[in-house]
Amino acid sequence: MEILISFIIPFIILLTVVVFIHEYGHYYFARKYGVGVTDFSIGFGKEIFGWNDKSGTRWKICWIPLGGYVKFFGDRNVFSQADQEKIINKYSKEDQKKLFVLKPLYQRALIVVAGPLANFLLAIAIFFSAYMFVGKDFTPAVINEVQKDSPAMEAGLKNNDIIVSIDGNKVKSIMEVSKFIMMSTGEFVDFTISRSNQNLTYKVKPKIVPGEDNLENKMNKRIVGIKLGAYNNEINHVKLGPIKAIYYAISEVYYVSASSLKYIGSMIRGSGDSSQLGGPIRIAKITGQVAEFGIMPFLNMMAYISISLGLINLFPIPLLDGGHLMFYGFEKILGHPLSQKVQEGFFRIGMFLLLSLMFFTTFNDLKDLGLF
């Protein structure tokens, strides 16, 4: 019962909101362009409960809460590209107006991309609200201590240096320093510091050591060997106006997306730490831990998961939104959709990639729990 309350329920709430927003993006633009929607499902498998709206859409909650889908009128799956001649012969003129596959290419592309876009907008809305009503930290980061024989000392960092930027990312808050270091994927971390009114840049090679995050989850930490303090011991935490709040909200979404892509690129090159890649089990565990700290940390977690969902769905892998956009790119170039046989070949490759990723992340999750 404790596990149910502490981990499973917060995870299901978070995932339900994020998935609903994603699928509603598809649904909204589908309805906007006159596409018939037969099903709007949160979860997979057998239906728990549901209802039909006036337009004939079945809204339902299903037993497996690990995703969702929107099914369009006449489609075998969410974004199938069937033989158009067969479709034209099968449906009446009136019903053809509701078919997704007969809509112009740009409308189909917008319907597909609307899901990931909705996830990014959710994250922006959460950060925007947090910065306006809770505030954002702008306390400058000062190095209070450079530990002896540490990477920072070897590189040349000194006490009282003010950290200006890390890897080109401007440090606006002491809270950002550890984040920028951990998100760095290179062998060296570039520190730009202010010393005696002069900006200097040093390359620091962090030590990779096994450790724990603030929630006591195992992870490989990048240690540079510095202790930080507030500039002049003054904490600067302010509530932002709407213009600054939206600017910093969009900036945070962009930074997380760009850093995630760099991390994935580093794994492909073989230099990234693939052990940090987790799946639903690890996400559920962290979600439960974060929820114990209150609503704002929980909402921030929701924002980061929403960004991840939107980003992953844009990958050009069949079965994902990005895979369908890839097909539309081929259709634009060739002047006609790819054949059913070619698409099925791509879908098999996509299924293999997704199942491999699922297996790998599940293995990491179980290893994190000490089962391997």
129 and 9 fall within a common domain:
yes
Across residues 290-300, what is the average pLDDT? 88
124 and 8 fall within a common domain:
yes
Instruction: Annotate 255-309 with DSSP letters as a single string.
Output: HHHHHHHHHHHHHHHT-S-GGG---HHHHHHHHHHHHTT-HHHHHHHHHHHHHHH
State the chain's mean pLDDT as an integer: 86
92 and 169 fall within a common domain:
no
Q: What was the pLDDT predicted at 278?
A: 75
pLDDT at 4 over 70: no
Q: What was the pLDDT predicted at 265?
A: 83
Q: What was the pLDDT predicted at 87?
A: 65
234 and 313 fall within a common domain:
no
In a domain, 234, yes or no: yes
Name the catalytic one among 23, 145, 176, 252: 23
Q: What was the pLDDT predicted at 150?
A: 92
pLDDT at 64 over 50: yes
Q: What was the pLDDT predicted at 343?
A: 82
pLDDT at 232 over 90: no
Across residues 131-141, what is the average pLDDT? 92
pLDDT at 111 over 80: yes
Is residue 94 annotated as a catalytic residue, yes or no?
no
Contact 314, 115 (CB under 8 A): no
Predicted TM-score (pTM) of the model is 0.88
12 and 127 fall within a common domain:
yes
105 and 228 fall within a common domain:
no
Q: What was the pLDDT predicted at 132?
A: 95
pLDDT at 78 over 70: no
Sign (positive/negative) of CA torsion 73, 77, 79, 81? negative
In a domain, 165, yes or no: yes
Across residues 148-157, what is the average pLDDT? 92
Across residues 239-256, what is the average pLDDT? 95
pLDDT at 79 over 50: no
In a domain, 73, yes or no: yes
114 and 208 fall within a common domain:
no
Among 165-179, 197-211, 298-312, 350-364, which is the least confidently predicted range?
A: 350-364
Q: Write down which residue in 238, 268, 283 finishes a domain.
A: 238
37 and 58 fall within a common domain:
yes
Assigned token pair, 223: 């240690």
In a domain, 18, yes or no: yes
94 and 199 fall within a common domain:
no
Which residues constitute the domain of residue 225? 136-238
Tell me how far the alpha carbon of residue 99 is from its chain's centroid: 31
Number of structural domains found in the chain: 2
In a domain, 104, yes or no: yes
Across residues 159-170, what is the average pLDDT? 92
142 and 209 fall within a common domain:
yes
Q: Give the pLDDT band (50/70/90) at residue 66.
A: confident
Q: Write down which residue in 206, 238, 270 finishes a domain.
A: 238
CA distance linking residue 48 with residue 186, whole number of Å: 47
Across residues 186-214, what is the average pLDDT? 87
Q: Write down which residue in 197, 214, 238 finishes a domain.
A: 238
In a domain, 117, yes or no: yes
56 and 142 fall within a common domain:
no
6 and 111 fall within a common domain:
yes
Greater model confidence, 82 or 173: 173
In a domain, 268, yes or no: no
In a domain, 15, yes or no: yes
